């Protein structure tokens, strides 16, 4: 037993050593943790984006598998500074109970000791209150059994309006409203600024000029996109509504063309076909986008990262390989 305990200690130390350090002060790093939607694809979990700036680690949306992707990056769940929700569709929030509860456990990969900071549209505070009720037994058990700190499982939640949502340690987050359809209001995009750098997240939206306005002068614009096969609508009429809430590749190209960010990237790729195809048809997505936009862009995949440094942006895939953005001749 004592050998096992010692082994556990060694593993804990190794994991502690392997934990990723904060991003260097002059850098801003964006990592796509989930580029997908409710579709349960192994290659693309649902919406979540990590932005590291200075000593801040911010999450934008908490979709399915956010804890797994953070673990892959060796980022302790308890080290997240604050989380922001674009809207309350399930594919943007189903990872919340997991990161909130698992991030509290007293391990090298979790150990949150301060409240879980979360900002989002109206309904966010109610969701945190209801989750606290839903998981009351786990809270009771772990408090009595593992003696985890009460502060670590508390929420510091706020329902926010458009405007500056957060300003701390040189990082400023501003919410702006986007058009995700009549029944999904409000839905937000976010502008994140740090050390003269600017990253814009569209959130879920149709073509919306407010995204263009927010993304003027941005280094990086991360935009959603939808590719839905017309035949699918015949069998599943709800795809018509879904399609109506999102941006086509041609429309996204028009957004990029007018906003002119240094680099544009797709995440939250709504991709629905009659046949159960696993991977996003990147060639078709590139061609359709380039019919309206000639500038540089990248099709995001889970764990694609963007490092903003010295006026440039380095894009890497999960395996560390560097990506050359598409650019029309």
Judged by the rule CB under 5 A, the positions of this chain that interact with Zn ion are 89, 91, 204
Q: How many CB atoms lie within 10 A of CB 11?
A: 11
Report helix, strand or coil for 185.
coil
Q: Which is nearer to Zn ion, 204 or 243 (CB)?
A: 204
Q: Which is nearer to Zn ion, 59 or 308 (CB)?
A: 59
Query: How many Å apart are CA 34 and CA 46, to the nearest integer?
Result: 5
Report helix, strand or coil for 23.
coil
We find the least distance from the C-beta atom of residue 124 to Zn ion, in angstroms, to be 15
Q: Which is nearer to Zn ion, 54 or 63 (CB)?
A: 63
We find the least distance from the C-beta atom of residue 83 to Zn ion, in angstroms, to be 16
Query: How many Å apart are CA 123 and CA 279, to the nearest integer?
Result: 33
For 17, which DSSP code? H
CA dist 262 → 210, 219, 297, 302, 324 (Å): 18, 5, 9, 21, 13
Write out the H or E segment, with its range, that includes residue 6: helix 2-18
Write b or e for each residue in 57-92: b if 16 or more Cβ atoms lie within 10 A of its Cβ, otherwise e. Answer: bbbbbbbbbbbebbbeeebbbbbbbbbbbbbbbebb
We find the least distance from the C-beta atom of residue 91 to Zn ion, in angstroms, to be 4
We find the least distance from the C-beta atom of residue 64 to Zn ion, in angstroms, to be 11
Q: Which is nearer to Zn ion, 67 or 267 (CB)?
A: 267
We find the least distance from the C-beta atom of residue 168 to Zn ion, in angstroms, to be 27
Q: How many CB atoms lie within 10 A of CB 321?
A: 8
Report helix, strand or coil for 194.
strand
CB–CB of 240/198 below 8 Å? no
Q: Which is nearer to Zn ion, 30 or 269 (CB)?
A: 269
Q: Which is nearer to Zn ion, 204 or 219 (CB)?
A: 204
The encoded tokens of residue 88 equal: 């309350």
We find the least distance from the C-beta atom of residue 127 to Zn ion, in angstroms, to be 15
Residue 15 CA from chain centroid, whole number = 24
Query: How many Å apart are CA 307 and CA 160, to the nearest integer?
Result: 28
We find the least distance from the C-beta atom of residue 123 to Zn ion, in angstroms, to be 13
Q: Which is nearer to Zn ion, 204 or 302 (CB)?
A: 204
Query: How many Å apart are CA 260 and CA 155, to the nearest integer?
Result: 38
Q: Which is nearer to Zn ion, 52 or 204 (CB)?
A: 204
We find the least distance from the C-beta atom of residue 204 to Zn ion, in angstroms, to be 3
């Amino acid at each position: 037993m004592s050998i096992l305990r010692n082994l556990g200690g060694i593993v804990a130390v190794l994991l502690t050593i392997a934990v990723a350090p904060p991003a260097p002060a002059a850098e801003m790093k964006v990592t796509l943790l989930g580029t997908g939607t409710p579709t349960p694809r192994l290659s693309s979990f649902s919406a979540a984006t990590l932005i590291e700036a200075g000593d801040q680690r911010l999450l934008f949306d908490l979709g399915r598998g956010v804890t797994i992707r953070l673990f892959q990056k060796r980022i302790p769940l308890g080290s997240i500074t604050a989380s922001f929700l674009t809207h309350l569709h399930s594919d943007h929030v189903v990872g919340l109970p997991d990161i909130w509860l698992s991030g509290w456990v007293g391990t090298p990969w979790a150990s949150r000791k301060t409240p879980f900071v979360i900002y989002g549209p109206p309904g966010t505070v109610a969701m945190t209150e209801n989750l606290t009720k839903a998981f009351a037994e786990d809270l009771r058990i772990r408090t009595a059994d593992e003696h985890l700190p009460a502060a670590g499982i508390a929420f510091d939640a706020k329902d926010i309006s458009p405007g500056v949502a957060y300003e701390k340690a040189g990082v400023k987050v501003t919410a702006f409203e986007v058009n995700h359809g009549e029944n999904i209001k409000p839905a937000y995009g976010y502008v994140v600024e740090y050390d003269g750098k600017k990253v814009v997240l569209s959130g879920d939206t149709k073509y919306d000029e407010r995204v263009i306005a927010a993304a003027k002068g941005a280094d990086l614009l991360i935009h959603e996109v939808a590719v839905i096969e017309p035949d699918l609508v015949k069998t599943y009429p709800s795809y018509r509504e879904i399609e109506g809430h999102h941006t086509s590749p041609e429309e996204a190209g028009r957004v990029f063309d007018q906003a002119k960010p240094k680099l544009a990237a797709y995440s939250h790729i709504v991709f629905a076909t009659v046949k159960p195809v696993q991977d996003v048809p990147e060639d078709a997505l590139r061609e359709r986008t380039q019919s309206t936009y000639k500038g540089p862009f990248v099709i995001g995949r889970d764990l694609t990262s963007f490092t903003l440094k010295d006026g440039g942006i380095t894009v890497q895939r999960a395996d560390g390989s560097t990506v050359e953005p598409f650019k029309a001749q």
